[in-house]
A and B are shown apart, each in its own frame.
Chain A
């Protein structure tokens, strides 16, 4: 009886090994085309469409002179959920930050505008024309701060802020130049 049980166990193990091997080979279908993970999918298109709608909404508010709601609409773009690792997400968010900062500058909220730009620069994983644009807006914020402190009679501080503005513009120009050269080489 014991020999029967042992023999059956051996047979079952052998058949199990065969079945496992067969399963692993059948997973790979010859008709299935492998697809990379970074293709444009529905999730990305939905996120881009929502960003587009919020921008249009903000544009309408700006046209009406309703900057508070325009700022709120642009902020919503920053909380949109994009597919993980999608490069478009970083570009769209940085562009929204640039617009948001400019709107905040228009509302004399210079500190908040600078914080918005600084966060965008810090969170960026690569240099892009959008990061360069953030530096451009940063330069404008420095300029606005300089004008403000100069009006308050703090001329040396204003000069320092203007130097910071020039530094931000230089960074923007440098990034743009580097990227343009890189793109030209790739073509």
Chain B
């Protein structure tokens, strides 16, 4: 028959066999140990086998989702969170980060400020660079040849004698030919642009 000290090393009893008095006593002792541990009153000393069994029991209980904080601790955490939410000082709860400290309020403002400074510098730089160009006249306009421009035809036609007052047909031919020269010249020079 197995004793209390060697029940772990004794042969496995028949599953249908009734529990012996020593087994019942042993189970009750272990149940008390588990209850004490859950109540936060873990005995300072216990056998290595009991400690192993106790750890297994704790893990099984935590995995089943039945682990709960003590009512006092729950109340303390909730009150601390509410106090921080209304702007009060955080309680000295170890391991809990205050809400205010958790936020980095300066980060978006730093990004916005940096962006604004860069934009302002770019605007200033562009303004300083473009200012001298605006002050100078556009030389390309001034260089446009006279023959490319639409202009009065007086220099081309000259005074119209009375006997030629009705010779508009020959004059329009002359005007058209002259303007066509300028138009072609401009188009060929400028690579076909209108």
- Chain B residues in 8 Å Cβ range of A34: 138, 140-141
A20-47 toward B: CB 8 Å interface, digit per residue (1/0)?
Answer: 0110010010000111101111101100
Contact present for B112 and A55 (CB under 8 Å): no
Which secondary structure characterizes the binding site on chain B? helix
Q: A18-B118, A21-B122, A48-B176 are in contact. Are A40 and B169 (CB under 8 A)?
A: no
A116 within 8 A of B: no
A137 within 8 A of B: yes
- Chain A residues in 8 Å Cβ range of B173: 52, 55
Q: A14-B115, A39-B148 are in contact. Are A87 and B109 (CB under 8 A)?
A: no
Q: A34-B138, A132-B159 are in contact. Are A15 and B126 (CB under 8 A)?
A: no
Which secondary structure characterizes the binding site on chain A? helix
B15 within 8 A of A: no
B147 CB, nearest partner CB in chain A, Å: 8
Contact present for B175 and A48 (CB under 8 Å): yes
A7 within 8 A of B: yes
Contact present for B112 and A10 (CB under 8 Å): yes
Query: Chain A interface: which of B39-47, B68-76, B91-99, B160-168?
Result: B160-168
Contact present for A133 and B160 (CB under 8 Å): yes
B65 within 8 A of A: no
A126-144 toward B: CB 8 Å interface, digit per residue (1/0)?
Answer: 1011101100110010000
- Chain A residues in 8 Å Cβ range of B148: 39-40
Query: Chain A interface: which of B2-10, B22-30, B179-187?
Result: B179-187
Contact present for A18 and B111 (CB under 8 Å): no
A58 CB, nearest partner CB in chain B, Å: 7
- Chain A residues in 8 Å Cβ range of B37: none
Most buried by B among A18, A58, A74, A92: A18
Contact present for A88 and B179 (CB under 8 Å): yes
- Chain B residues in 8 Å Cβ range of A85: 150
Q: A7-B108, A128-B152, A183-B154 are in contact. Are A98 and B119 (CB under 8 A)?
A: no
Contact present for B160 and A132 (CB under 8 Å): yes
Count residues of chain B with CB under 8 A from any CB of chain A: 50
Q: A83-B150, A183-B154 are in contact. Are A99 and B166 (CB under 8 A)?
A: yes
Count residues of chain A with CB under 8 A from any CB of chain B: 62
Q: A8-B108, A44-B179, A129-B157 are in contact. Are A137 and B165 (CB under 8 A)?
A: yes
B84 within 8 A of A: no
Q: A92-B175, A126-B152 are in contact. Are A14 and B168 (CB under 8 A)?
A: no
Contact present for B160 and A130 (CB under 8 Å): yes
Contact present for B165 and A18 (CB under 8 Å): no
Given A36-B141, A91-B153, 7 extra CB contacts under 8 A: A14-B120, A98-B168, A103-B166, A126-B152, A128-B153, A137-B165, A140-B162
Interface residues of chain B, those whose CB is within 8 Å of chain A, are 105, 108-109, 111-113, 115-116, 118-120, 122-123, 126-127, 130, 133, 138, 140-141, 144, 148-155, 157-160, 162, 165-166, 168-169, 171-173, 175-176, 179-180, 182-183, 186, 190, 194
Pick the 4 closest A-B CB pairs, nearest first: A7-B108, A18-B119, A14-B119, A10-B112
